[in-house]
Structure 1
Amino acid sequence: MSPPSIPLVVLAAGLGRRFGGPKQLAPVGPHGELLLDYTAYDARAAGFSPIVLVVRDEIEKVLTAHVERSWPRSLPVMFARQAAPAGTADAVLAGRSHLTTSFAVVNADDLYPATAYAALYAHLAGTGETASQHAVVGFSLGASMVGNGPVKRGVCQGDQDGRLIDITELVVRRGANASLTGMTASGTTVPLEWASTVSMNMWGFRQSMVGHLERAVDRAQHAPGGGEVILPDVVAELLAGPTNEPIVVLSEKGNCLGMTHGEDLPQLVKQVSQLVDQGDRPSRLWPSGDQLQGGGGHKGDRHQ
């Protein structure tokens, strides 16, 4: 039996306000690789297919050209446009026509460990008890900190069975003596530990999540003032409701390297270089003989 086709939705439509530009286009690898390139490489190795890139109009042509120039044609890629910056829940829905089965979601501006993709695919492809369970990959907070600036993290609380019982997005800041504190949207300060479990927006969802996202986005669109809808808030609402859709926390020991501020880029480039030197990342991602996306004869319209 062939392995199931599980789409990976890559959220690449962010504006990069704190970074000062489109983080999706910042080269981080030894040969100018983008974080997106590492995402595609690891996702393909884990078994995910197709890759659904959610983009905005301003960078769609640039990213399309990059994919056609750099990615192998053996990797199915689809593009979906997010019309306006309405949050990560709305971004996922931009690719809903491809989400007819279980699917995964990741950010385009984070370098997740390859082991996390493998664990997430194995969970979504599993049968039995796990067949009805959503999943979030949980990282230690310390393993997700690159620079010294404030960052947003979804702080997770789980039960003794490894199920998520709550998630709250906090703005995390470093303090004196390597202390960490988080601030809620209402301004409440929360002390945190370096070992606190956080979400880096790496999710595995069953198809039923599409309906939850649609209802949450629809409510926001009809509410006074509208506003963005983010995935952690939809998940928190799901956990608080009378649902029988558990969310498993898949604990990951590796580092998740991301970019939030412009000054994070040199540090990330240095860390990627170290991973390559240590043999933990290949010097070149795609074999030279692997035909690229732009090699001609590609069938169908990949844009929607």
Structure 2
Amino acid sequence: MTLLLMAAGSGSRYGKLKQFDDLGPKGEFLMEFAMYDAIKNGFGHIVVITKKENVDFLREHLEARLPKTVKLDVLSQEISDLPDGMEFSGERLKPWGTAHAVWTARDVIKDPFCVINADDFYGQSAYENAAKFIREHPQEDHYALVGYILKDTLSEHGSVSRGVCMTSGDDLVSVDERLKLEQKGDKVVDADSGLEYTGNELASMNFWICRPSIFGVIETEFREFLQDDQLVKTGELYIPKTVQKMLKDGLAKVKVVPAQDQWFGVTYASDRETAVASLKQKTAEGQYITPLWSM
């Protein structure tokens, strides 16, 4: 099993590269706790997608810490990485999106894998439940989303973007992307659309359980994307949309796996204090050793 971490963001709202902020008790990055939890649950391959200028630094940092039995790949997400025969000669500041970040790993991932954000803390049970799902569902078309309770994924310091899930039992029906969600009294309100939620809905935090079959689907979408001049200027390819297309086309069966743990993230600089305190508490409670890689 492989854990793929997306760490190519710019941290515009955080004020710096939050993926490399020393939030742990001994200066560990938040993503290191994800790796620790995954390895503890049988993941033997770590893949990190980052910016080109961060590849060498991150590889050296992780090689010095991860167990030698764990395979490590650190790859750069680049705008020039296109399907064979496709060209792009324009200018673009942002990468092609999260689905393209996943596609970046197409040549190194050959087995079931989980996709997460490097700047989110998902909790130990998320990796335990994901590993269990992979073991119990070996079929190539069996995918899953690790779901969280919407009201538990908000920030006290500003609006957040979340994928609000529609489900039927434990089957995923759709993921509705909302970009400006905030707690307003006893409701969660999306400032863009005015839609209100109870807060008890399931939310996607981009923790996906995937199979290598997704790479071909992303490439097909990417080829179509590159032929649309407007999308090429400002659009992005998103994992939820790719998975939903696979669901609609009958290429995947997608379950929702409950996280059964508390999520937290560092969207804003003011989220940092909460993250540091939470990691310190979890370490004090014995969930993590310190230093993290002294095992």
The amino acid across from 2:141 in the alignment is S
Distance 1:172 1:276, change over 3 A: farther
TM-score (norm 1): 0.85
The amino acid across from 1:212 in the alignment is V
Match in the other structure for 2:85: none
Distance 1:156 1:202, change over 3 A: same
- CA distance in 2: counterparts of 1:215 and 1:168, whole angstroms: 22
- CA distance in 1: counterparts of 2:189 and 2:214, whole angstroms: 31
Q: Deviations over 1:109-156 (max 9, x none)?
A: 01111111111112112247x663100000111222343311111111
Distance 1:176 1:132, change over 3 A: closer
TM-score (norm 2): 0.88
- CA distance in 2: counterparts of 1:136 and 1:56, whole angstroms: 26
**Number of residues paired by the alignment?**
277
CA RMSD of aligned residues (A): 1.8
Q: Are 2:207 and 1:198 equivalent residues in the alignment?
A: no
Q: How much has 1:175 moved relative to structure 2?
A: 4.1
Q: Deviations over 1:175-196 (max 9, x none)?
A: 442531125xxx4222122221
Distance 1:276 1:147, change over 3 A: farther
CA contact (8 A) 1:140 1:253 kept: no
SS at match of 1:198: strand
Match in the other structure for 1:150: 159
Q: Are 2:120 and 1:110 equivalent residues in the alignment?
A: yes
Match in the other structure for 1:27: 22
Q: How much has 1:99 moved relative to structure 2?
A: 2.4
Match for residue 268 of structure 2 among 261, 265, 268? 261
CA contact (8 A) 2:154 2:183 kept: no
- CA distance in 1: counterparts of 2:111 and 2:285, whole angstroms: 37
CA contact (8 A) 1:148 1:174 kept: no
Residues 277-288 of structure 1 correspond to what in structure 2 (within 5 A)? 277-287=284-294
SS at match of 2:107: helix
Match in the other structure for 1:216: 221
Distance 1:167 1:279, change over 3 A: same
CA contact (8 A) 1:89 1:217 kept: no
- CA distance in 1: counterparts of 2:156 and 2:288, whole angstroms: 21
Where in structure 1 are there 5+ consecutive unaligned residues?
Answer: 1-5, 289-304
SS at match of 2:278: helix
Match in the other structure for 1:238: 246
Q: How much has 1:71 moved relative to structure 2?
A: 2.3
Distance 1:278 1:194, change over 3 A: farther
Q: Percent identity?
A: 28
- CA distance in 2: counterparts of 1:94 and 1:156, whole angstroms: 26
- CA distance in 2: counterparts of 1:251 and 1:148, whole angstroms: 26
Match in the other structure for 2:110: 100
- CA distance in 1: counterparts of 2:251 and 2:8, whole angstroms: 32
- CA distance in 2: counterparts of 1:151 and 1:81, whole angstroms: 26
Runs of 4+ aligned residues of structure 1 deviating over 3 Å after TM superposition are none
CA contact (8 A) 1:143 1:254 kept: no
SS at match of 2:11: coil
- CA distance in 2: counterparts of 1:21 and 1:58, whole angstroms: 15
The amino acid across from 2:278 in the alignment is Q
